[in-house]
Every structure is written in structure tokens, then in C-alpha cells.
A and B are shown apart, each in its own frame.
Chain A
Amino acid sequence: MIDIKDVEHVAKLARLALSEEEKQKFVKQLNSILEYMNELNEVDTSNVAPMEHSIKITNVMREDTVVVDFSREELLNNAPEEEDGFFRVPKIN
């Protein structure tokens, strides 16, 4: 069971500002999701290796070469704010 403290903690880590109402709502919703997951926990998986991917491919690699597809101007165009070729962001404390 998770409580409001867990929700506040996770929200802080994700830098989300939640209202009291939202917090209550998420406690309920997250708990119902976790309850559902608990049902899966009833299956014995002690002899099953964790699966990270649904397909069995390994060693996907590229050669060490430099490729330039976009200019700085093009890439900065997507930023809400820029200054002197930098991305400009609110100060984080």
C-alpha cells in the first residue's frame, strides 16, 4: 500500500506540482494498479529470468563515425527559449 507521502515523494522526483485533490486521487489510482500487479505476484517466477525485451536480439551497434544531420539553428528552433546558441532554461535550485 502506498500513502500520500509516497505520492508526494515521487511527484517531487518527477518535479510535478500536485494539488491536495490530485494527491488523494493518485493514492487511490496507484494503489489499484499495484493491487492488480499483486495478482501477478501470485505466479511462481523463481525459475524465470527477468525479461527486458520481447525480442531476442543482442549486440546492436554502430561504427564510431561522426555524422551531422542538423545544424545548431535547426535544433535550437525547437527550444522554447534560446540565447547565444545556448538553450535557456529556468534556474534550478
Chain B
Amino acid sequence: MDTVTREKYEVVIGLEVHAQLKTKSKIFAPDSTEFGNEQNTQISPITLGMPGVLPVLNKSVVDMAILTGLALNCKIPNRCKFDRKQYFYPDLPKGYQISQYDEPICIGGCLDIKGKRIGITRAHLEEDAGKLVHAGADGIAGSNYSLVDLNRAGTPLLEIVSEPDMRSSDEAKAYMEELRNILRYIGVCDGNLEEGSMRCDANISVMLKGSKEFGTRAEIKNVNSFKALQRAIEYEIERQIDLVEEGERVVQETRLWDDNLGETRSMRGKEDAHDYRYFPEPDLMPLEISQEWVERIKETMPELPKAKRERYMSLGLSEYDATVIVEQPELAFFFDEVIKLDANVKTSINFLTGEVAAYLKEEKLSIGETKLTPENLVELVNLIEKGTISNNIGKQIIFTMLKEGTSAASIVEKQGLRQISDEGAIKEIVQEVVNSNPEQVASYKAGKVQLLGFFVGQVMKETKGRANPKTVNELLKEFLD
């Protein structure tokens, strides 16, 4: 699409995020919610919708929903209730999903991204559905029956619905990322998009810039990664603009994102099923949430990502570093311990976002799974700050510390890595290097000053990287100039 056409339009995006709450048992049944176990090993008569069973609400689910609501600046009404949303599909044996329709647990909040405020309409509790496995080699097409695994049926979900406040795929991604950060920091959801513990539907429409009326929206399902979210939105923007430009109308419908083909396609035929005929769930009594209850939960609220980022920046971290570390809660908690031990903040953060983060990514580990302790890192940082070892040596031995848990001081002593800052000793080596490279010295003197790096390298080679770089530079200049 040419940019002129594209620029005429503005996109309007609202997101519905389903977050699996990190409870041990299901929302209305005592089955385990653990991920990845053998099919149908986490089911019960309640999950199967057997006659005569009654659902009983899990208290932790309510606590987590309140905590999330507070973190998202929502109001927690003093009363909420559950409703039946009816549809017939084998992933839900009861023939209905227990959800919340007109009286959700959280209403009217907001979340800030990059200086922009995104409204949150509501957040409501519901149960997840099971999984259908389509038999036959080529999936859905080739089989005449389906296999059902109901382990996931009844897993607690909090559906967080935003206002249509986002105006680009970047904003949608930023919202999703910040929401994920918050959910992870308050410990209610592990935010694992791959395992489906956080899922997203996007409502997307386009309108001419400056228009006051939104266009007709399409609901895009099955966007299961940040990349998919952005690609799906970009695809929808172009599809809808094309339709409008050709004088056609955008149909209000549900579309499925196909990540392999990179396109959305209509789920027509399922539209009828959107007549869910909600009614109040007779098997569950309403919830009354007192102010005291809300206050009790509020007291357990940990520091939220935004506050953490701002605190790190006030300590002298760049916005980039602060953002990178806050996106990794475990690293951030580790960093908080380092700060408490009064280490140089910038040197510490360079290790954490540099060598440590790279190592974790490479080895697919979390910081807790390595042998590095905050105390050891601080000791390493202090050795560098005092000039006992060079920064480069530090970067080498951090890997030993991660793997073996050895203290920095003992590695330095054992391998003789102490930095040589003694001028006399370095002078000798500098003299040697200058004497044995007459050609380079001549070129340098003829004006090829970038050769200084070559000399520094030679000195470092002779000292196995232990010479104080500042002293080396100074002495070399003295000799050469």
C-alpha cells in the first residue's frame, strides 16, 4: 500500500487479554492447574459437568483479581456476580462457560505506556475451556472425530478489556508488554505467551484521520506473540483500508490470525454462536467485596514496573537500561539486592544487562538457576571500582562466577589477574613493545595515530590483559609523542 493512502487513515485498537491466574487449583473445582501434564489427568466430576455437582469459587482467584484490579487503577465494586455464557462445543462439557457479564469484579482503570494513558474498561473472571485435538495426520481437515483433553477446562482466567485507545501496532505491543510486566510483578500470571497463559484478541478498525466516528471493527483472535500481534494489526489495517478505498464495507466479524500465512481470515458461520444468552449463574452466590478486603489486598501490593523503572532512573540508569531490566523481574529483584549492598549502580547494571543477560539467554536459564549471588557480583564490581582488576578481566571472570559460584576475589588470586597499576612495571613493558616494533613506531610518528590501539593491544597481550589501560595509554603517548 502506498504511504499516501495509508497516511489518510488512523487505526483504532482495543485489546482483550486473557490472563491465566497462577493458582494451584481451578476456579470452581479442586483439580490441579499445572501445565503440560498428560491428557485428562486434572479433571473431576465438576469439570466434566456431571449431574448434581456444584462449583465452589476459589478464594485465591478473587484475591488475585482484586490485586490486579488495584494494580490497573480499577474500582472494585462491592458486589459482583457470575453468569452463564452458553455455547455448545466439546471443549466445555457443561454447555456453558461460567463468566461475569454485567457485574464484573473490576471496572474503569488505566495503564500508562510511553507517556500515554490507555483506559481499561473492565476485568472479569471466567473459566478456561479444554483443548480439542483433531485426529488424522493433516489436522482438522482429514479427521472425522476429535479428541478432547479437559485439563485446562476450568483454569481461572481474568479477561482484561481495554478501551479502544491505541492508535498503532507499536502502542498495542507496548500495552501488552506493560500489562504482562505488571501481571508478573504482582505474581498473578506467569505471562507465558507460548504456553497460552496470556492470550490476546484485538479489536481493530480504521477511520479517516480527524474523523470522530470509529469504523466497523473486526475482532482478531489467535494472536499469541508480541510479533503476531503487531503483524496481525498491520495486516488488518491494510485489509480494511483496501476495502474502504474500493468503496466496500468492513464487515463486523471475528477473524482468525494465521501466523504461518501471515493473514487473517473470516470465521464466518460462527457468528450465530455469538448469541450467548447470558443469565445469572444459579449455582454460585454473588460476591460481596468489602472495603476491608480490598485494603488487605492493597497492603500486599509490591512495587509496580513503572515505579521500579522510575526509581532505577533516579539512581542514574538510562531509560533503556531501566526498561531492559524491569522487563525481567528476576533480574530486577537481583538488582534490588545489589543496590542494597551499595555497589556502583552503573557498573553493576552493565554486567546484568550485558554479560549476565547474554549468558542467561544462551543457556536458557533464569538468574536463580545460576550460581551467581548478589554478594559475589558486588564484590566483583568493587574490585573493578578499586582498580584491583580491569573491567575486561571482570567481563571474563563473571562467566566462571555464573557457572561455579566462585567469589571474584578468589578467582583473581588463583589466576593472578590482579591489575598492574605500578607505573614502573608497565613502563618496562611499554619500552619493550616500542623497541620491538620500529616500523609501527615510524608510521605512528609519520602521522598514523590510530596505531596507538595496536600498541595498547601489544602491551595488553604481554600482561595478559592485566595492565591498567589508563596508565598504558598515558605511558605510550609519553614514549611515542
Residues of chain A whose beta carbon lies under 8 Å from any beta carbon of chain B:
9, 12-15, 50, 52-53, 57-70, 72, 75-76, 78, 83-93
Contact = CB atoms under 8 A, between A and B. Distances in A.
Contact of B50 (A63, A72, A78): A78
B39 interface: yes
7 contacts: A15-B88, A50-B280, A57-B285, A61-B62, A62-B57, A64-B58, A75-B45
A26 B342 CA distance: 78
A13 B25 CA distance: 31
A88 B277 CA distance: 28
B406 interface: no
A53 B48 contact: no
A58 B286 contact: yes
A66 B31 contact: yes
Contacts of B23: 64
Interface in B439-468: none
B444 to A, nearest CB: 72
A65 B24 CA distance: 6
A61 B272 contact: no
B44 A72 contact: no
B284 interface: yes
What 4 A-B pairs have minimum CB-CB distances, sorted nearest first? A86-B147, A64-B60, A67-B30, A52-B280
Interface in B46-74: 48, 50, 56-62
A89 B285 contact: no
A75 B57 contact: no
B103 to A, nearest CB: 10
Interface in B114-168: 133-135, 143-150
A42 B149 CA distance: 49
Contacts of A78: 48, 50
B56 A14 contact: no
B203 interface: no
A55 to B, nearest CB: 8
B56 A13 contact: no
B40 A76 contact: yes
Nearest to B29: A67
Nearest to B50: A78
Contacts, number: 121
Given A13-B88, A76-B40, A52 B24 contact: no
Most A CB contacts (10 A, CB to CB) among B41, B43, B134, B147 go to B147
A87 B148 contact: yes
Nearest to B147: A86
Contact of A89 (B41, B50, B145): B145
A9 B275 contact: yes
Contacts of B44: 68-70, 75
A58 to B, nearest CB: 4
Contacts of A85: 38-41
Contacts of B24: 64-66
B105 to A, nearest CB: 13
A52 B31 CA distance: 28
A87 B148 CA distance: 5
A62 B430 CA distance: 76
Contacts of B285: 53, 57-60
Contacts of B58: 61-64
A83 B40 CA distance: 11
B86 interface: yes
B416 to A, nearest CB: 55
Interface in B305-324: none
Contacts of B282: 52-53
Contacts of B133: 86
A92 B146 contact: yes
A9 B272 contact: yes
A59 B286 CA distance: 7
B251 interface: no
B147 A65 contact: no
B145 A86 contact: no
Given A52-B282, A53-B285, A85-B39, 8 more contacts: A52-B286, A67-B30, A68-B32, A72-B43, A83-B135, A86-B147, A89-B90, A90-B145
B301 interface: no
A86 B25 contact: no
Contacts of B60: 63-64
B4 interface: no
B480 interface: no
A67 B31 CA distance: 6
Contact of B25 (A53, A65, A83): A65
A45 to B, nearest CB: 16
